[in-house]
Amino acid sequence: MAHATKDLSALARTDHEVEPPLVQGGLSFHDITELVAQHTEKKTPKAWWAAFSVAFLGMLTLVAMLAYQVWNGVGVWGNNIPVGWGWPIVNFVFWVGIGHAGTLISAILFLFRQRWRTSINRAAEAMTIFAVICALIFPTFHVGRVWAIYWTLPIPNQMEMWPQFKSPLLWDVFAVSSYFIVSLVFWYVGLIPDLATLRDRAALMGRRLRAKILGFFALGWCGANRHWRNYEKVYMLLAGLATPLVLSVHSVVSFDFAVSIIPGWHTTIFPPYFVAGAIFSGFAMVVTLMVIARKAYGLENVITVDHLEKMNIIMLVTGTMVGFAYITEFFIAWYSGVPYEQYAFINRATGPYAWAYWIMMSCNLIFPQFFWIKKLRRNIPFMFVASIVVNIGMWFERFVITITSLHRDYLPSSWDYFVPTWVDVLTLIGSFGLFFTLFLLFLRFVPMVAMAEVKGVLPEADPHYYETHGDGHSRSAEVQVNRGRSS
């Protein structure tokens, strides 16, 4: 060991490329607390109320549609007999996919020690939880008899009847519900130190009730060494558990299709390909939300363009993977020599749904490739448009997989065309209403950036920092001037 340290002094060459700091504007520990916490403490801004009203209206639309559908039956949707799975399942896969980026950012990037995740993980995990809530609505309500949905649970009953454990739809129940619970626990564990911060601030401001409520949720956190040691271990364990979980959840969702024998559905690449697509669309949604949030909440120094660029690179990578899967599917369909398989893909590209297929192809295969250009990767208006385009493309991907494979399969006598009804459309719009209602509530009441973690990546958090930067009590004058917008 002594040998190694001796080497270091000889080798301590300066870095050729100095990485830009993760947090810019020379923010101190206190600045970060101020910047993040103030939004949960001040009076609700008008813009928030405006956004919330719109979102809440959307949520009411969703509730109305679901009530209407339960009362009248699933026939109010456009589903028909060959196309038994229409928009509800498309939306389900879409929303589950959106949720995956949050877990990727919080768990997988944590395992890979990617410190840039700290600025975005809180919002991304919240997004996961709300997207999973939106997702869970669809499998619940797309059944004909929602009041019997508890039959899917293996509960001992007077009929001695159990669910069929070979059905991937049952695996979905287990996968998505455990995914929801683990994501929620993970998010909450991450929140505890920040809730303690808010509790202490509320007490200082003399807001007793607020301090009590926050104190209840902070579970008596006082940031002791022993707390932090256990906290870090738990966080690592949860990250280690959440990673296989996140991969398995979307794989299970892909099994819903891939275990069948429908041409276009039955293909072995679905599990990893769905996971890649989920990360792709999830990151697009994170970029969409972060571009708005950092502007609205003045967090440009915490969520910097470097963060957004890294997210765009992940989008580029996963988008290319998805594109590669498209090509693979197409090639193997031809290579298989199975006429049904071959027709399924010809039909996608040239049949009645060719428009959907080409929307999907251009949005997912072509658009992310613009991110090869560094200028565009760092261009905020461009990435905002691109992230929305990607999510449109990914919604269409699920639409194409679900509907084009069903509407024409083995028997030409059971070919049909699927047309969505107004209920389909309003339910989809309503699910966005629910998502944004929850997300806006989160922005209002919970610190949207993980303060404790961002402080950990500041240069001052490095134990060797003060060896070269004085005693830490006097910040330099220029930094004082450059404080972020912490007014």
Partner 1 sequence: MAEVKANGFLGWLLDPLQSTREQAEPRYRLPEDVRIWAVPLAIGVGLLIVSLVGWVIDAHQFYFSYLVGWTFCLTLALGALFFVMIQHLTRAQWVVAVRRLPEALLWTFPALIVLFIPVLFGLHDLYHWTHPEVYDPASPEYDPILAGKRAYLNVPFFLGRIAFYFFIWTLLAYKLYTLSVRQDVDPDPSIPAQQRKVSAWGMPLYGVTVAFASYDFLMSLDPHWYSTIFGVYFFAGAFFVALGFITTCYAILARRGPLTGIVRAPHFQDLGKLMFGFTAFWAYIAFSQYMLIWYGNLPEETLWYRHRLEHGWEVLSQVLIWGHFALPFLILLPWAAKRTPLLVGTMGVWFAIIHWVDLFWVAMPVLHAEHLTFHWLDVTCWLGLFGIVVGLLFYRLSRHSLVPQNDPYLARSLALH
- Residue 111 makes contact with partner 1 by CB under 8 A: yes
Nearer to partner 1, 110 or 187 (CB): 110
Contacts of 320 (CB under 8 A, 6+ apart): 368, 369
Beta carbon nearer to partner 1, 61 or 251: 251
Question: Which residue pairs, CB below 8 angstroms and at least 24 apart, start in 270-273?
Answer: 272/325, 273/321, 273/322, 273/325
- CB nearer to partner 1: pick between 119 and 254: 254
Q: In angstroms, give the least distance from the CB of 267 to partner 1.
A: 5
Closest approach of partner 1 to the CB of residue 308, in Å: 17
As a whole number of angstroms, the distance between CA 104 and CA 98 comes to 11
Minimum CB separation from partner 1 for residue 429, in Å? 34
CA–CA gap between residue 303 and residue 469 (Å, rounded):
25
Kindly state the tokens that stand for 55. 């979102």
Contact between 381 and partner 1 by CB under 8 A: the answer reads: no
CA dist., res. 422 & res. 406, Å (int): 21
Residue 271 CB, nearest approach to partner 1 (Å): 4
Closest approach of partner 1 to the CB of residue 365, in Å: 12
Based on the shown chain and the rule CB under 8 A, indicate whether residue 247 belongs to the binding site for partner 1: yes
In angstroms, give the least distance from the CB of 6 to partner 1. 9
What are residue 185's phi and psi, to 5 degrees? -65, -45
Residues between 300 and 339 with contacts to partner 1, criterion CB under 8 A: 317, 320-321, 324-325, 327-329, 332, 335-338
**Which CB sits closer to partner 1, 16 or 226?**
16
Residue choice 119, 267, 312, 379 for contact with partner 1 (CB under 8 A): 267
Torsion, Cα of 446, 448, 450, 451 (10° steps): -80
Count of residues that interact with partner 1, criterion CB under 8 A:
45
Please, which residues have CB within 8 angstroms of residue 170's CB and are 6 or more apart in sequence?
152, 163, 164
Question: Is 12 a binder of partner 1 (CB under 8 A)?
Answer: yes
Q: How far apart are the first and last CA of the chain?
A: 49
Per-residue x/- track, 345-374, partner 1 (CB under 8 A): ---------------------------x--
Closest to 403 in 3D by CA, of 227, 265, 228: 265
Binding of residue 375 to partner 1 (CB under 8 A): no
Select 329 or 424, whichever has its Cβ closest to partner 1: 329
- Binder to partner 1 among 64, 143, 184, 259 (CB under 8 A)? 259
| Residue 8 vs 47, nearer CB to partner 1 | 8
Does 266 contact partner 1 by CB under 8 A? yes
Q: Does 180 bind partner 1 (CB under 8 A)?
A: no
Please, which residues have CB within 8 angstroms of residue 82's CB and are 6 or more apart in sequence?
406, 407, 408, 409, 414, 415, 416
DSSP at 43: P
DSSP per-residue letters across 175-204: HHHHHHHHHHHHHHHHHHHHHHHHHHHHHH
Please say whether the beta carbons of 486 and 31 come within 8 A.
Answer: yes
Q: Which residue has the tokens 């601030």?
A: 201
Query: Exactly one of 16, 42, 226, 473 binds partner 1 (CB under 8 A); which one?
Result: 16
The two tokens of residue 154 are 């293996």
- Cα distance between residue 476 and residue 177, in whole Å: 51
Minimum distance, C-beta of residue 476 to partner 1, in the bound complex (Å): 26
Task: Tell me how crowded residue 227 is: count the other CB atoms within 10 A of its CB.
Answer: 16
Contact flags string 58-97 toward partner 1, x per CB under 8 A: ----------------------------------------
Cα–Cα dist 196/199, whole Å = 5
Least distance from partner 1 to the Cβ atom of residue 256, Å: 12
Least distance to partner 1 from the beta carbon of 406, Å? Answer: 16
Nearer Cβ to partner 1 (143/332): 332
Establish if 103 lies at the interface with partner 1 (CB under 8 A). no
Footprint on this chain of partner 1 (rule: CB under 8 A): 1, 3-4, 7-8, 11-13, 15-17, 111-114, 244, 247-248, 251, 255, 258-261, 266-272, 317, 320-321, 324-325, 327-329, 332, 335-338, 372
